[in-house]
Structure 1
């Protein structure tokens, strides 16, 4: 194994996602060198990521890089990287709220924060969006606990609850909740809302594309015409949002919305961006819920404006996720319950930098 080199790594599930966790100090500071290592580690360039630890799907091909905080008022830094399974692309433009659920436990067990008796509150600075998120993690007896009675749709079994509070998530990438200056607008004959809250997104009613909004992810993914139409819409939305040419990025995310079918407030199908999420991204849930309480958006018009504080129940392909919205000091706070689990720990083997390109 002397022609490979090893890096400390922990694989964790966070919410409905799964990925590799690294300490920032264990990876190169240079972004290009870092990304080449991540491509090698995850096995990108092959749809199954057969030569790496990636899961061959966007929700299982994620990386979290955690280190001491670089800003006042936070305990740790968290840089998220979406590693494309099929292409040699590492995208650090978005945040991932599901992976975020595992950041607190990882940081605590890595010794980056002081663990308290009972519950430990960790303030996480998301480097991608420069926003702060509070994570409350169970630490009975001064140790992280993963076992408990909390359940989230899209994950089997029960686990310890992790409460995430997004502090003023508006303008995560663009600095504005409504980057185009309009709550809704028309792109290629389709009315959409371009919103930037925790995650830049483009929302549109499913019926505008001849859909119910209750289709399965597999059915939606198999519709090549739909995927191409959504991508063309989101590329133009990205341009209007000031994100430039987003054809090689994973933001903004296209989101189909529809009336609920199972007693919730809104049915959603969230794309990543060319594949429909089997559940719903946590950051996506925050942004969609915020759109529901923002006057004039396609979401608020579909379900009717809601007053704050409010709880929005969002139906997704695997069940439902609830988002609690409230104001504090004039800023909108969004709370979501997630769970996480440490899956394995050890060292992952990577190719030397001059060999990474040959792996694809």
Structure 2
């Protein structure tokens, strides 16, 4: 059995892209596991990369909604267990939709409006060449999973730590790095599970993510977890959530409220911007690059 796919880099992540028309009515988990080659830490029998940032599948197709042009459905595949998480979205791979849609003939030009079916989020992709820059702007984001931007208020206590639980594009628990005296993955996983319960989320290996933050000369130094490991850079939805938290203010992030902030991470920096009108978060945006690495036919076992 074969399937036409594209491998696309979006931002600092990579995914297998599939036309929505090829999404099966049943067995979609098995399809994603076969595409990625999971469970296997090295993904030797599939197209994954052995880490969460490269173990992703995105389905894209025309939308029946007059508000948008395309629908997307995202699957986060665990590299080493047979687990698929459909509860969230990936901002990096959302940027890759622009490159894929142009290459696959789903759209002729940008900008393009997209609805993410996992979360209901609406966003716009604009630019002239995805390889140079794609602007990803989420419109009126917030409460995609919980119904509120701050489901427990702007500051609360979770698992013995002062934290901000924010739900913008994806749920994130933000804590000060200095407050975490034991920054092991096991400790952060306990915090993550407790935060998910506090937010009323169904158990998930992917959300909420944990962000350890520290102000640094007007910027924000960040480490973030993803699927039980430290992310090699930053998940784009995590960047967007942090940008919203800074713009709205009053959180555990010790920076004044501001419409733009630079985030420092292990691979470099990311700039995120947001517009707040009163208490309403109008939009949050960041710039990425994306390109189609290959297009071809994958043979499924």
TM surpasses 0.5: yes
Structure 2 unpaired stretches of 5+: none
Count matched residues.
300
Match of 1:88 in 2: 82
Task: Report if aligned partners of 2:52, 2:227 keep a CA contact under 8 Å in 1.
Answer: no
| Residue in structure 2 matching 1:281, options 219, 222, 235 | 235
Deviation at 1:175, TM superposition (A): 1.6
- Residue 337 (structure 1) aligned with residue 287 (structure 2): yes
| Residue in structure 2 matching 1:73, options 67, 86, 91 | 67
Specify the structure having the higher radius of gyration (Cα). 1
Task: Report if aligned partners of 1:105, 1:137 keep a CA contact under 8 Å in 2.
Answer: no
Residues 1:137 and 1:328: Cα distance change in structure 2 (over 3 Å)? farther
Where do 1:78-157 residues align within 5 Å? 78-113=72-107, 115-116=108-109, 120-138=110-128, 145-146=129-130
Match of 2:35 in 1: 41
| Residue in structure 1 matching 2:169, options 185, 188, 198 | 198
| Residue in structure 1 matching 2:205, options 219, 225, 249 | 249
Task: Report if aligned partners of 1:49, 1:55 keep a CA contact under 8 Å in 2.
Answer: yes
| Residue in structure 2 matching 1:318, options 261, 267, 284 | 267
State TM-score, norm by structure 1: 0.80
State TM-score, norm by structure 2: 0.95
Residues of 2 paired with 1:293 and 1:10: CA distance? 36
Deviation sequence 1:273-330 (CA, Å, 0-9, x none): 411111111111110111113343101xx11233xxx211111111111112124795
Secondary structure of the corresponding residue to residue 109 of structure 1: helix
Match of 1:183 in 2: 154
Secondary structure of the corresponding residue to residue 232 of structure 2: coil
Structure 1 unpaired stretches of 5+: 139-144, 147-158, 212-219, 221-225, 352-360
Residues of 2 paired with 1:188 and 1:203: CA distance? 13
Coordinate RMSD, CA, aligned: 1.7
Secondary structure of the corresponding residue to residue 132 of structure 2: coil
Deviation sequence 1:109-140 (CA, Å, 0-9, x none): 22222x24xxx2100101111011100131xx
Residues 1:188 and 1:324: Cα distance change in structure 2 (over 3 Å)? closer
